[in-house]
DNA sequence: CTGTGTGAACCCCTTCACAGCG
DNA sequence: CGCTGTGAAGGGGTTCACACAG
């Protein structure tokens, strides 16, 4: 009756597109729960949040059977399942590397703690910054201390907000320090050692993608 | 001999994945040019930057024939073509809405001017912030003045860095003000009117996607 | 002989459609 | 009877492989 695809520890090998949508579904469910909605069908979810009902069901099917036929899904229990699938049981501690404006903004971003991600340390190589802390109270350490603090504080994710030239070295250091995943904001094509998951948030690529869609009003069109 | 797909003004209807890669290619070419490389083959590009040679050629084929058979591509002219395709002829002026830490970091991000994107105004509704400016010198205006300043300053892209609850309204205001594209950082599913291109940078989704790949070490595994 | 441009094959993701359960 | 879960169909994007241009 149940297709157990889970290999005990890590879940099935689903695509990044699917995990992204699971995260979206979770957010939608949280919204519904705040509104007091107790049950919702895939149709209802799709209509309310501009999603595709079949896709919701397919995405969930990778992990089990969470719905009740003829009824739909319990908002509360489906949200709990998604949190479990995504590994959001306990808060996840993070480090931010690079104490520039972006790094400090990330360290103090109010959305992260709300979603169970806690930036607990900021790293930089500038002596002027080391020893201080962000407005939100995140302490700034010298990058040299990365490994020790990652170990001691059980930091699992690093966010990289340093100039492109330094980014690869920071990824290497973070991986060596035992970080399991990295979110990179530097505009550079980086590689992470096997076992370390790397994702990029490339603002230049995003903006140039938008630029492609701007109306062209060049003076001299050939 | 030439397949001209271009409909004079806006280019062909290629996927977002393709435009993203064009942006990457451009960055790679800039790197090569800085190194003094004059010519490169798709193979060479692929090997150097972990790309796929066939995909590079396919992506470029949407827009023309830029290579020389038996030789490869001129680094300089291919870069120029890509810049033209992406619409990066002249600097593109941007507004940032939301003068929190993230908004200010975006307004002062040094990578943007380097790539031809110029944040020229920051908007907020907090009287405490309005009238001031960022460390980098970007002036902060009341959101009420969005339309006038977008018009006068010929702002074409808006970056949205406000809380999720306010994001949809800001998108509506920006669209009404004449902005052509929006890069949204708020964790919310927004809609933009037709003709306005919307892209999301969702940090929570990115982090939860990483969380999925973390090793599970729960105390009690069922 | 080298490397582009491109049809064809392949693969993955999305969408459809419906059997069957509650 | 409604809605899930899912096989099958469909559509896109990626990769292959090669004709052919230089």
* Res. B7: pLDDT tops 70: no
pLDDT-derived band at A9 (thresholds 50, 70, 90) equals low
User: Is residue A163 situated within a structural domain?
Assistant: yes
CB of A214 within 8 Å of a chain B CB? The answer is yes
pLDDT-derived band at A218 (thresholds 50, 70, 90) equals low
User: Is residue B129 situated within a structural domain?
Assistant: yes
Among B26, B57, B85, which residue terminates a domain? Answer: B85
Q: Report chain B's mean pLDDT, rounded to a whole number.
A: 94
Do A74 and A141 have their domain in common? Answer: no
Strand locations in chain A (E): 39-40, 73-74, 92-97, 117-124, 140-142, 157-160, 181-184, 197-200
What CATH number does the domain containing B57 carry? 1.10.10.10
User: Is residue A219 situated within a structural domain?
Assistant: no
* Res. B141: pLDDT tops 80: yes
CB atoms within 10 A of CB A1: 3
Do A201 and A142 have their domain in common? Answer: yes
User: Is residue B216 situated within a structural domain?
Assistant: no
Q: HSE of B60 in the Cβ direction (CA atoms, 13 Å)?
A: 24
* Res. A184: pLDDT tops 90: yes
* Res. B8: pLDDT tops 70: no
Do A37 and A74 have their domain in common? Answer: yes
CB atoms within 10 A of CB B64: 14
User: Is residue A6 situated within a structural domain?
Assistant: no
Do B77 and B99 have their domain in common? Answer: no
User: Is residue A3 situated within a structural domain?
Assistant: no
Q: Which two tokens stand for residue A26?
A: 């979770």
Do A50 and A99 have their domain in common? Answer: no
CB A4 within 8 A of CB B205: no
* Res. B114: pLDDT tops 70: yes
Give per-residue pLDDT as tens, A79-120. Answer: 999 999 999 999 999 999 999 999 999 999 999 999 999 999
Do A50 and A129 have their domain in common? Answer: no
- Which residues from chain B sit within 8 angstroms of residue A94, using beta carbons? 207
* Res. A2: pLDDT tops 70: no
What three-state secondary structure class fits B126? coil
Q: What pLDDT was estimated at residue B180?
A: 98
- Distance, Å, B162 CA → C21 C1': 45
What CATH number does the domain containing B187 carry? 3.40.50.720
DSSP secondary-structure letter at B93?
A: E
For residues A163-174, one letter each, b for 16 or more C-beta atoms within 10 angstroms of the residue's C-beta and e for the rest, the string is: ebebbbebbebb
Do A151 and A190 have their domain in common? Answer: yes
Give per-residue pLDDT as tens, A110-167. Answer: 999 999 999 999 999 999 999 999 999 999 999 999 999 999 999 999 999 999 999 9
Q: Which domain holds residue A40?
A: 16-85
DSSP secondary-structure letter at B218?
A: -
Do A120 and A194 have their domain in common? Answer: yes
Among B85, B120, B138, which residue terminates a domain? Answer: B85
* Res. B133: pLDDT tops 90: yes
What three-state secondary structure class fits B19? helix
Q: Which two tokens stand for residue B214?
A: 């973390």
* Of the partner residues A100, A203, A212, the one whose CB lies closest to the CB of residue B86: A212
**In terms of DSSP H, where are the helices of A50-186?**
53-61, 75-86, 101-107, 111-114, 146-153, 164-177
User: Is residue B194 situated within a structural domain?
Assistant: yes
User: Is residue B20 situated within a structural domain?
Assistant: yes
Do B112 and B183 have their domain in common? Answer: yes
Backbone phi and psi for residue B197, each to the nearest 5 degrees, phi listed first: -85, 130
pLDDT-derived band at A217 (thresholds 50, 70, 90) equals confident
Number of domains forming the structure of chain B? 2
Q: Against a cut of 0.85, is the pTM above it? A: yes
* Res. B222: pLDDT tops 90: no
Protein footprint on strand D: which nucleotides are under 7 Å from a CB?
A: 1-7, 12-17, 20-22
């Amino acid at each position: 009756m149940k297709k157990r695809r889970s290999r005990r520890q890590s879940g099935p090998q689903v695509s990044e597109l699917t995990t992204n949508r699971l995260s979206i579904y979770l957010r939608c469910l949280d919204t519904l729960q705040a509104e007091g909605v107790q049950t919702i069908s895939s149709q209802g979810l799709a209509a309310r949040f501009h999603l595709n009902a079949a896709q919701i069901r397919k995405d969930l099917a990778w992990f089990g059977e969470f719905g009740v036929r003829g009824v739909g899904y319990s908002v509360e229990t489906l949200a709990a399942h998604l949190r479990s699938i995504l590994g959001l049981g306990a808060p996840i501690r993070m480090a931010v590397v690079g104490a520039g404006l972006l790094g400090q903004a990330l360290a103090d971003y109010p959305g992260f703690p709300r979603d169970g991600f806690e930036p607990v340390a900021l790293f930089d190589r500038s002596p002027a910054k080391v020893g201080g802390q962000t407005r939100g109270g995140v302490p700034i350490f010298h990058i040299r201390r990365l490994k020790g603090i990652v170990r001691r504080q059980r930091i699992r994710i690093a966010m990289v907000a340093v100039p492109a030239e330094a980014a690869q070295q920071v990824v290497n250091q973070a991986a060596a320090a035992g970080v399991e995943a990295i979110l990179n904001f530097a505009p550079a094509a980086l590689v992470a050692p096997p076992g370390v998951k790397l994702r990029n948030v490339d603002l230049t690529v995003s903006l140039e993608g938008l630029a492609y869609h701007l109306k062209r009003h060049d003076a001299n069109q050939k």
